[in-house]
Structure 1
């Protein structure tokens, strides 16, 4: 029987920051939720854009072209190849969409391991 995915419920299942959790897939892409707080490392993705949608809280996407502040219900897509880092002064919750298997730092050696929940 088909079931809706409750993102708020999925977010209650973990407390770690900067560790994306896969909740579904779509045309070869992972749909993930993540909790963030503090600064992530500067990185880029040579082969893919980077999609961020804020569910709760506020984040700032710092880029080499300037910064973008996102509040709940707002999204931003970082174009491929642009160095960036998300920053959250307080804990924020995000929805991310990335090609399946793409490392969240753009580099397998430094990426968080993604797990399904």
Structure 2
């Protein structure tokens, strides 16, 4: 296996669509993904996985059923398994995600328009 550094900015420049994460690395069964987002994602939860969102550029609100948590550049939030959540983004945000390789973007077995059928490596 070749050891190499990854430029987040260079990887982010390779795509412009929203809510379509790209895999940029893997460690210990976890995927490291980059995603651009704008607008509202759907309410969902992950029954078996925790999820981490690290804001690279911009800001967004993580909505939980009982509160809204603003996350800004350089901050991250961990959503424990089983907690319903949805990211809400006013202006474009760039996010790094850490989650198990088996994680389905919209949680559970129910599929929607936002469910990624196959996450691309870049």
Q: TM-score normalised to the size of structure 1?
A: 0.95
| Match of residue 115, structure 1, among 95, 116, 120 | 120
Gap runs ≥5 in structure 2: none
Q: Is 2:64–2:84's contact at 8 Å kept on the other side of the alignment?
A: yes
Q: Displacement of 1:107 after TM fit? A: 3.5
Question: 1:5 aligns to what?
Answer: 6
| Secondary structure in structure 2 of the residue aligned to 1:15 | coil
- The yes-or-no answer on 1:63 pairing with 2:64 is yes
Matches within 5 A, 1:73-88: 73-88=74-89
What RMSD in Å do the two structures reach over aligned CA positions?
1.1
Structure 1 counterpart of 2:44: 43
Q: Distance in 2 between matches of 1:30 and 1:88?
A: 23
Hey, what's the Cα distance between the residues in 2 that align with 1:90 and 1:80? 27
Distance in 2 (CA, whole Å) between partners of 1:106 and 1:56 is 25
**Post-superposition, which runs of at least 4 consecutive aligned residues in structure 1 deviate over 6 A?**
none
- What residue number does 1:96 align with? 97
In structure 1, list runs of 5 or more residues that go unmatched.
none
Counterparts of 1:65 and 1:45 in 2: how far apart (Å)? 17
